[in-house]
């Protein structure tokens, strides 16, 4: 039986990096069946919608979704174009967003005195609630009473399950440490609630150590001592912001892959780079495809092909350590597709 993959390239550099990820998947010799979705802001320009109204139903039969990036402000407002992304995370109950940050050999780290593999953390980001609810509204437009309200919403079930996932993840790792990120000095309802549940859940994991950190200090420490983090668990918004920092300390946005997981497997999970559509470099062949390639590795692992995932990661590692073929973010002159070709070439040795 073939794995059924929905390819959702999207906008900007999305199609460029997804093409390279597919090139590498195709070289693995596994039974993979694709459907390419042409849902993006070009479709919006034509039809007034970035995706068909029944987009969730159309994706439901797939085993996994490999996404590039959504959004091109030239064609559609960002909060409209990214709707299917947030819609999938919520609609498919992909409540865990796994965002690893590993510093590979051969990559320039902007932080002093850090050696390859010193930075090895994984951010477990809550992906379905928190600050990303659609509750709120705008009122009294054009009057002196004009107001906007954006509601944060934390449930016991939603918070507890992400915390448990973080502790379970820590259990599988050498350092077995969880850092829980909040802002409970200022957000005294939701974040104090989160802290309390963290303490509760931690009792079931006596083998895992725990520390709490305020998000402002965490932003500072992600730059000052990124090597000090093992598993980091954070709310939707805090996890979003911190993972751009985690990406830049391991070399840039082009290195950070991610997985949006529905752990019960009732619905398909979705795999995508942490980065966006990078309109500043789109269409120029400058995008680094490694984030997309590493996301594809996470997808193969989730589909039950850890051997294929390991092979992809090893090929990326060999490619980076050799350092001959480099996109401009690594100070090179090679194109997105030349990097993809080089990684594919390394699969044989992986």
Based on the residue annotation, tell me whether 165 is a catalytic residue of this protein.
no
| Nearest distance from C-beta of residue 190 to Mn ion, angstroms | 20
Binding pattern for the stretch 228-257 against Mn ion, x by CB under 5 A and - elsewhere: ------------x-----------------
Burial of 257 (0-12, 13-18, 19+ CB in 10 A): buried
Reading the block at residue 41, the tokens are: 């802001």
Out of 72, 240, 301, 329, the only residue in the binding site for ligand IPM (CB under 6 A) is 240
Out of 277, 295, 317, 334, the only residue in the binding site for ligand NAD (CB under 6 A) is 277
Burial 109-122 (b: 16+ CB within 10 A, else e): bebeebebeebbbb
Does position 316 interact with ligand NAD (CB under 6 A)? The reply is no
Burial 33-45 (b: 16+ CB within 10 A, else e): ebeebebbbebbe
Name which of 158, 237, 153 is nearest 197 in CA terms. Answer: 158
| Nearest distance from C-beta of residue 346 to ligand NAD, angstroms | 19
Coil, helix or strand at residue 1: coil
| Nearest distance from C-beta of residue 132 to Mn ion, angstroms | 11
CA-CA distance, 144 to 146, in Å (whole number)?
Answer: 6
Based on the residue annotation, tell me whether 311 is a catalytic residue of this protein.
no
Q: Which does 254 bind (CB under 5 to 8 A by kind): ligand IPM, Mn ion, ligand NAD, none?
A: ligand NAD
Sign (positive or negative) of CA dihedral 64, 294, 302, 118: negative
Based on the residue annotation, tell me whether 183 is a catalytic residue of this protein.
yes
Q: Active site residue: 240, 286, 311, 346, which one?
A: 240
CA-CA distance, 294 to 159, in Å (whole number)?
Answer: 27
Does position 343 interact with ligand NAD (CB under 6 A)? The reply is no
* Active centre residues (catalytic): 140, 183, 216, 240, 244
Contact positions vs ligand NAD (CB under 6 A) = 13, 17, 69-71, 73, 78, 82, 85, 252-254, 272, 275-281, 287-288, 291, 329
């Amino acid at each position: 039986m073939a794995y059924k993959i929905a390819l959702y390239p999207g906008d900007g550099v999305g199609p460029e990096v997804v093409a390279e990820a597919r090139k590498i998947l195709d070289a693995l010799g596994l039974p993979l069946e694709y459907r390419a979705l042409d849902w993006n802001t070009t479709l919006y320009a034509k039809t007034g919608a970035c995706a068909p109204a029944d987009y969730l139903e159309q994706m439901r039969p797939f085993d996994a979704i490999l996404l590039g990036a959504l959004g091109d402000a030239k064609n559609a407002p960002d909060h409209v174009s990214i709707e299917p992304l947030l819609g999938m995370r919520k609609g498919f109950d992909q409540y865990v967003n796994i965002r690893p940050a590993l510093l590979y050999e051969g990559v320039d780290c902007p932080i002093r005195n850090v050696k390859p593999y010193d930075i090895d953390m994984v951010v477990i980001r809550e992906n379905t609630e928190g600050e990303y609810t659609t509750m709120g509204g705008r009122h009294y437009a054009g009057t002196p009473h004009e107001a906007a309200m954006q509601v944060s919403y934390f449930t016991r079930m939603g918070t507890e399950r992400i915390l448990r996932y973080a502790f379970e993840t820590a259990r599988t790792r050498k350092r077995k440490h969880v850092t829980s990120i909040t802002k409970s000095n200022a957000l005294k309802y939701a974040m104090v609630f989160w802290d309390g549940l963290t303490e509760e859940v931690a009792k079931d994991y006596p083998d895992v150590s725990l520390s709490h950190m305020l998000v402002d200090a965490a932003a500072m420490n992600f730059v000052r001592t990124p090597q000090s983090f093992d598993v980091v668990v954070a709310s939707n918004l805090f996890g979003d912001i911190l993972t751009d920092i985690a990406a830049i300390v391991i070399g840039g946005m082009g290195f950070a892959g991610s997985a949006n997981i529905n752990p019960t497997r009732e619905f398909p999970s979705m795999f995508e780079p942490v980065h966006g559509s990078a309109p500043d470099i789109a269409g120029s062949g400058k995008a680094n495809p490694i984030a997309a390639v590493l996301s594809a590795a996470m997808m193969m692992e989730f589909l039950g092909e850890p051997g294929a995932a390991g092979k992809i990661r090893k090929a990326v590692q060999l490619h980076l350590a050799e350092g001959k073929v480099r996109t401009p973010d690594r100070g090179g002159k090679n194109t997105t597709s030349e990097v993809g070709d080089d990684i594919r070439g390394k699969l044989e040795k992986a």
